[in-house]
Amino acid sequence: MLEKTVWRQYHQENNFREKLAEFTRLDIIDLIDDDKALYAVLKSKLTKKELKLFAMDTAGINDENIKAEFEYTDDDLEKAKFKLYKKLKQDKTRLAFRQSNFDEFSE
């Protein structure tokens, strides 16, 4: 499941659930149960660049490699990471990952 995702390009496992819980400050048990649905919400809330940056950064990819991939300067990379993690902490973004909100939407 989810083998051909951006996440799996940089991670050996589908551990995005744990990383998402860490950065959104939500408990793993509160997140949407279905990995495919959770990943779909993640893709809908982040731009393609942000999703790739999230995958690369959480995989421990060297900042120099990330800068080369996105053609960023040091300052650009710092700003992009700040914006990404700020977005994940915003209520309107992080609450979309909650199972209770997913249940209400899917009814």
- Whole-number pLDDT of residue 6: 92
* Range of lowest pLDDT (42-46, 67-71, 96-100): 96-100
- Given a cut of 80, whether residue 3 has pLDDT beyond it is no
CA atoms within 13 A on the CB side of 41: 23
Whole-prediction pTM? 0.89
- Whole-number pLDDT of residue 100: 79
Question: Which residue do the tokens 């995702």 mark?
Answer: 5
- Given a cut of 90, whether residue 89 has pLDDT beyond it is yes
Rg (alpha carbons) of the chain, rounded to whole number? 14
Residue 97, C-beta contacts closer than 8 angstroms, at least 6 positions apart: 20, 24, 26, 31, 32, 38, 41, 42
| Percentage of residues of the chain with pLDDT beyond 90 | 82
